Structure 1
Amino acid sequence: MARFRCRACGQEGEFTYIGGHECPRCGSADVQFALGIDEMPVELIDRIIESLSQAESLDETPTDEEDR
Protein backbone atom coordinates (compact mmCIF):
# COMPACT_ATOMS: atom_id res chain seq x y z
CA MET A 1 0.00 0.00 0.00
CA ALA A 2 1.13 3.53 -0.75
CA ARG A 3 0.55 6.46 1.55
CA PHE A 4 -0.49 9.93 0.40
CA ARG A 5 -1.07 13.41 1.79
CA CYS A 6 -2.89 16.03 -0.28
CA ARG A 7 -2.32 19.73 0.29
CA ALA A 8 -5.40 20.71 -1.69
CA CYS A 9 -8.09 18.71 0.12
CA GLY A 10 -6.19 17.88 3.33
CA GLN A 11 -6.88 14.15 3.01
CA GLU A 12 -4.27 11.55 3.82
CA GLY A 13 -4.22 7.79 4.03
CA GLU A 14 -3.35 4.60 2.19
CA PHE A 15 -4.36 3.41 -1.27
CA THR A 16 -3.27 1.00 -3.97
CA TYR A 17 -0.89 2.87 -6.29
CA ILE A 18 -1.57 2.19 -9.97
CA GLY A 19 0.46 5.06 -11.41
CA GLY A 20 -0.31 8.70 -11.87
CA HIS A 21 0.49 11.85 -9.94
CA GLU A 22 -2.90 12.96 -8.63
CA CYS A 23 -4.61 12.77 -5.25
CA PRO A 24 -6.70 9.59 -5.17
CA ARG A 25 -9.55 11.52 -3.48
CA CYS A 26 -9.78 14.91 -5.22
CA GLY A 27 -7.50 14.58 -8.27
CA SER A 28 -5.20 17.51 -7.31
CA ALA A 29 -1.57 17.43 -8.43
CA ASP A 30 -0.56 19.05 -5.10
CA VAL A 31 -0.05 15.70 -3.36
CA GLN A 32 2.82 13.75 -1.80
CA PHE A 33 3.23 9.99 -2.12
CA ALA A 34 5.22 7.46 -0.14
CA LEU A 35 5.50 4.26 -2.13
CA GLY A 36 6.67 0.92 -0.86
CA ILE A 37 9.59 -0.61 -2.73
CA ASP A 38 7.25 -3.26 -4.15
CA GLU A 39 5.12 -0.55 -5.81
CA MET A 40 7.98 1.34 -7.48
CA PRO A 41 8.58 0.76 -11.18
CA VAL A 42 11.66 -1.43 -11.78
CA GLU A 43 13.10 1.27 -14.08
CA LEU A 44 13.04 3.79 -11.20
CA ILE A 45 14.77 1.39 -8.82
CA ASP A 46 17.44 0.68 -11.45
CA ARG A 47 18.06 4.42 -11.94
CA ILE A 48 18.36 4.99 -8.18
CA ILE A 49 20.89 2.15 -7.86
CA GLU A 50 22.85 3.48 -10.85
CA SER A 51 22.94 7.00 -9.36
CA LEU A 52 24.11 5.70 -5.99
CA SER A 53 26.95 3.75 -7.57
CA GLN A 54 28.22 6.96 -9.25
CA ALA A 55 27.89 9.21 -6.19
CA GLU A 56 30.93 10.60 -4.42
CA SER A 57 31.37 9.68 -0.78
CA LEU A 58 30.58 12.47 1.70
CA ASP A 59 32.59 10.76 4.45
CA GLU A 60 35.98 11.53 2.97
CA THR A 61 37.99 14.14 4.86
CA PRO A 62 40.39 16.40 2.95
CA THR A 63 44.12 16.01 3.54
CA ASP A 64 46.26 18.89 4.82
CA GLU A 65 47.52 19.46 1.28
CA GLU A 66 43.99 19.90 -0.08
CA ASP A 67 43.21 22.50 2.61
CA ARG A 68 45.95 24.86 1.36
Structure 2
Amino acid sequence: MLSPDLQRIKHILDYCNEIEKTIARYGDSFAIFDTNADYQRSISFSIMQIGELSGGLSEEYRRKT
Protein backbone atom coordinates (compact mmCIF):
# COMPACT_ATOMS: atom_id res chain seq x y z
CA MET A 1 0.00 0.00 0.00
CA LEU A 2 1.29 3.46 -0.88
CA SER A 3 1.83 6.08 1.78
CA PRO A 4 -0.67 8.97 1.77
CA ASP A 5 2.00 11.34 0.44
CA LEU A 6 2.93 8.97 -2.37
CA GLN A 7 -0.74 8.52 -3.23
CA ARG A 8 -1.11 12.30 -3.48
CA ILE A 9 2.00 12.60 -5.66
CA LYS A 10 0.61 9.88 -7.96
CA HIS A 11 -2.66 11.79 -8.31
CA ILE A 12 -0.75 15.03 -8.97
CA LEU A 13 1.17 13.27 -11.74
CA ASP A 14 -2.12 11.99 -13.18
CA TYR A 15 -3.47 15.57 -13.35
CA CYS A 16 -0.23 16.76 -14.97
CA ASN A 17 -0.67 14.06 -17.60
CA GLU A 18 -4.27 15.18 -18.15
CA ILE A 19 -3.02 18.74 -18.74
CA GLU A 20 -0.56 17.42 -21.34
CA LYS A 21 -3.35 15.48 -23.08
CA THR A 22 -5.60 18.53 -23.11
CA ILE A 23 -2.87 20.69 -24.63
CA ALA A 24 -2.21 18.01 -27.24
CA ARG A 25 -5.93 17.92 -28.09
CA TYR A 26 -6.49 21.69 -28.35
CA GLY A 27 -3.00 22.98 -29.21
CA ASP A 28 -0.55 25.13 -27.32
CA SER A 29 -1.73 28.46 -28.67
CA PHE A 30 -2.83 30.96 -26.03
CA ALA A 31 -5.28 32.41 -28.56
CA ILE A 32 -7.09 29.07 -28.71
CA PHE A 33 -7.02 28.71 -24.93
CA ASP A 34 -8.27 32.26 -24.49
CA THR A 35 -11.35 31.68 -26.66
CA ASN A 36 -12.28 28.11 -25.69
CA ALA A 37 -14.18 27.72 -22.41
CA ASP A 38 -13.89 23.92 -22.44
CA TYR A 39 -10.12 24.16 -22.77
CA GLN A 40 -9.97 26.70 -19.94
CA ARG A 41 -12.15 24.61 -17.63
CA SER A 42 -10.20 21.44 -18.29
CA ILE A 43 -6.86 23.04 -17.50
CA SER A 44 -8.23 25.05 -14.57
CA PHE A 45 -9.81 22.00 -12.96
CA SER A 46 -6.56 20.04 -13.14
CA ILE A 47 -4.57 22.93 -11.67
CA MET A 48 -7.12 23.33 -8.88
CA GLN A 49 -6.90 19.62 -8.07
CA ILE A 50 -3.09 19.76 -8.04
CA GLY A 51 -3.26 22.66 -5.59
CA GLU A 52 -5.67 20.80 -3.32
CA LEU A 53 -3.56 17.66 -3.36
CA SER A 54 -0.35 19.63 -2.74
CA GLY A 55 -1.90 21.27 0.29
CA GLY A 56 -2.49 17.85 1.83
CA LEU A 57 1.13 16.70 1.70
CA SER A 58 2.58 16.10 5.15
CA GLU A 59 4.95 18.58 6.78
CA GLU A 60 7.58 15.84 6.96
CA TYR A 61 7.39 15.25 3.21
CA ARG A 62 7.57 18.99 2.53
CA ARG A 63 10.66 19.37 4.69
CA LYS A 64 12.39 16.42 3.04
CA THR A 65 11.68 17.53 -0.49
TM-score by length of 2: 0.31
**Which of 1 and 2 has higher RCO (CA within 8 Å, sep 6+)?**
2
Instruction: Return the structure number with greater strand share.
Output: 1
* Larger gyration radius, structure 1 or structure 2: 1
Instruction: Return the structure number with greater helix share.
Output: 2
